[in-house]
Structure 1
Amino acid sequence: MSIWLDQRSTVIVQGMTGSEGRKHTQRMIGAGTRVVAGVTPGKGGQSVTFEEAPVPVFDTVAEAREATGATTSVVFVPAAYTRQAVVDAVDAGLDLTVVITEGVPVRDTAEFVAYARQSGHTRLIGPNCPGLISPGKSNVGIIPPTISGPGRIGLVSKSGTLTYQMMFELRDIGFSTAVGIGGDPVNGSTHIDALEAFEADPETEAIVLIGEIGGDAEERAAAYIADHITKPVVGYVAGFTAPVGKTMGHAGAIVTGSAGTAKAKKAALEAAGVAVGRTPSETASLMREIVAGLA
């Protein structure tokens, strides 16, 4: 099985006619994703051809969903228009919306995250994330589809590049689903959301959690693991050498004093029974040992 995304998922690409949207739509379709429509305001009635098959373009998400019955959207629109794009997806009643766009103002993100949660029906992932992939089933976002195959591990990560590295290092075992939740201060879905879903998925046997400096998301995930997760979890926290007070890569990755450090996060995870690697490769080795011991 997988979480949130499978071969039945039908996908709308918001911003499909732009250069990034078009490029990644081609990659998603090549990975088997069922892309059924694009949305670009003002370009309704057009189509874009991928692998000799035209994909219709609509002016609104509501029109695209009504015409195709789509369940999922992925957002490749400029940061200034992302809030409205997400609101349109929620209003259209989609089950899942994945926001790839980076540089979205935190105020906008806070507003559309709250709007999606209040809707009670739209799962939001991102912004500033690589998306999610259920290998062999569907791929929504920018995760390279060829670096790993289907398997027994669930992966949740703040970092896109570390998602790719971990998938590659554990490619012989494979993944049920890999989710990049994004590294902004406000996220549509959290480590805890993914942990809960992986715990409930009967074909996910072990979980990799990748975090980074800044905030307390990893500490909260550690507390949740201690109370609710029965499956083995291994972790990695990026940023052991990060200087205090300097933003590192993601907008949420900043250490203030002793708060948000990789050392503190590692300690919290280990206290919850999570084996934590000092490097991505060491983390992969820890997972390999765990999988080898599973029945």
Structure 2
Amino acid sequence: MSIFLNERSKVIVQGMTGAEGTKHTTKMLAAGTNIVGGVNARKAGQTASIGGRDLTVYGTVEEAIKETGADVSVVFVPPRFAKDAVIEAIDAEIPLAVVITEGIPVHDSAYMWAHAVATGNKTRIIGPNCPGIISPGKSNAGIIPADITGPGRIGLVSKSGTLTYQMMYELREIGFSTAIGIGGDPIIGTTHIDALAAFQDDPDTDAIVMIGEIGGDAEERAADYIHNNLTKPVVGYVAGFTAPEGKTMGHAGAIVSGSSGTAQAKKQALEAAGVKVGKTPSETAALMKEIMKSLG
């Protein structure tokens, strides 16, 4: 099992024929992802030879779904066109849209999210500004390097792309059911809580790593959810202990105002919910190794 993405997932790539789309489509194919086509209105009907495969380029997401049965779209569309691309995916009712694009204006992200809700939440959005999702050995939708780790029984949800990769590497000997990078923008689709709930329900996930960062209150809300709903062990890490107040750090959403959104406040909320929190990524990985050892 895995969450949101598995070996049966049929993936299309919006923006597949652009430079980034082509590069990462090649890598996703090499990871075993079942990519069934791309979408680019200007190149509809053409065939793109990528990663040793001839992939059809469709004019719309709706057409791609009709022709291929696609149920996942990975979006590599420049920021100014990204809103329209995601709205198109939502209107076509694709079950999962993984939005890699960074630099999407916040009001565009808000519009996309509101549109998904207004149309019945038929499309789960991951991102924007995220590395995507990987179920190792099964499928990879996004830009997460597929050779860091193998399949296993840890679930990972992270705001940070690079920390996702580091945690996967640190725990590579144990492996992951699914690793999901949700992105650090102020408005995102899938949240920590969404991923935690899915991991709780996944019989092949035994324990969960949650990586947060300064800014907002997502980690505090996740801590409350963990306390009330999770029976599986969770370890956490919060990036940004040394961040100065009032400065945006890394992601657009990583800004501290007063005591709100500080790493210390998030750490305390998580620990109060029974989550073991590491001071560094490596210490967090060590805590998870202890847990997995105790679970046998």
Does TM-score exceed 0.5, indicating one fold? yes
Q: Distance in 2 between matches of 1:201 and 1:52?
A: 34
Letter in 1 for 2:212: G
Q: Distance in 1 between matches of 2:110 and 2:13?
A: 22
Letter in 2 for 1:82: A
> Given the alignment of the two structures, is residue 233 of structure 1 paired with residue 234 of structure 2, yes or no?
yes
Q: Distance in 1 between matches of 2:247 and 2:68?
A: 46
> Given the alignment of the two structures, is residue 93 of structure 1 paired with residue 98 of structure 2, yes or no?
no
Tell me what 2:108 maps to: 108
**Structure 2: stretches of 5+ with no match in the other structure:** none
Tell me what 2:60 maps to: 60
Q: Distance in 1 between matches of 2:155 and 2:38?
A: 29
Tell me what 2:245 maps to: 244
Offset of 1:294 from its aligned partner? 0.2
Residues 127 and 188, structure 1, Cα contact 8 Å, conserved in 2:
yes
Letter in 2 for 1:232: P
> Could you list the per-position Cα deviations for residues 17-55 of structure 1 after superposition, in whole angstroms to 9, with x for gaps in the alignment?
000000000000000001001011211011111233200
Q: Which moved more, 1:89-98 or 1:260-269?
A: 89-98
> Could you list the per-position Cα deviations for residues 261-294 of structure 1 after superposition, in whole angstroms to 9, with x for gaps in the alignment?
0000000000000000000000000000000000
In the TM superposition, 1:183-198 aligns within 5 A as 183-198=184-199
Residues 44 and 58, structure 1, Cα contact 8 Å, conserved in 2:
yes
Identity rate of aligned residues, in percent?
67
Residues 214 and 253, structure 1, Cα contact 8 Å, conserved in 2:
yes
Tell me what 2:35 maps to: 35
Q: Distance in 2 between matches of 1:130 and 1:224?
A: 24
Where 1:42 maps in the other structure, the secondary structure is helix
Q: Distance in 2 between matches of 1:31 and 1:128?
A: 21
Tell me what 1:269 maps to: 270
> Could you list the per-position Cα deviations for residues 148-199 of structure 1 after superposition, in whole angstroms to 9, with x for gaps in the alignment?
0000100000000000000000000000000000000001010000000000
How many residues are matched?
Answer: 295
Q: Distance in 2 between matches of 1:29 and 1:125?
A: 20
Q: Distance in 1 between matches of 2:105 and 2:236?
A: 29
Offset of 1:93 from its aligned partner? 1.5
Tell me what 1:80 maps to: 80
Residues 117 and 123, structure 1, Cα contact 8 Å, conserved in 2:
no
Tell me what 1:199 maps to: 200
Where 1:172 maps in the other structure, the secondary structure is coil
Q: Distance in 1 between matches of 2:232 and 2:154?
A: 10
Q: Distance in 2 between matches of 1:208 and 1:61?
A: 34
> Given the alignment of the two structures, is residue 212 of structure 1 paired with residue 213 of structure 2, yes or no?
yes
Tell me what 2:164 maps to: 163
**Runs of 4+ that moved beyond 6 A:** none
Q: Distance in 2 between matches of 1:113 and 1:292?
A: 40
Offset of 1:117 from its aligned partner? 2.6
Q: Distance in 2 between matches of 1:288 and 1:163?
A: 16
Tell me what 1:255 maps to: 256
Q: Which moved more, 1:224-233 or 1:60-69?
A: 60-69
> Could you list the per-position Cα deviations for residues 224-271 of structure 1 after superposition, in whole angstroms to 9, with x for gaps in the alignment?
000000000000000000000000000000011111000000000000
Letter in 1 for 2:24: H
Q: Distance in 1 between matches of 2:158 and 2:41?
A: 32
Q: Distance in 1 between matches of 2:166 and 2:157?
A: 13
Q: Which moved more, 1:50-59 or 1:96-105?
A: 50-59
Q: Distance in 2 between matches of 1:27 and 1:228?
A: 37
CA RMSD of aligned residues (A): 0.7
Tell me what 1:286 maps to: 287
Q: Distance in 2 between matches of 1:170 and 1:285?
A: 9
TM-score normalized with structure 2 length: 0.99
Where 2:190 maps in the other structure, the secondary structure is coil
> Could you list the per-position Cα deviations for residues 2-30 of structure 1 after superposition, in whole angstroms to 9, with x for gaps in the alignment?
00000000011000000000000000000
Tell me what 1:150 maps to: 151
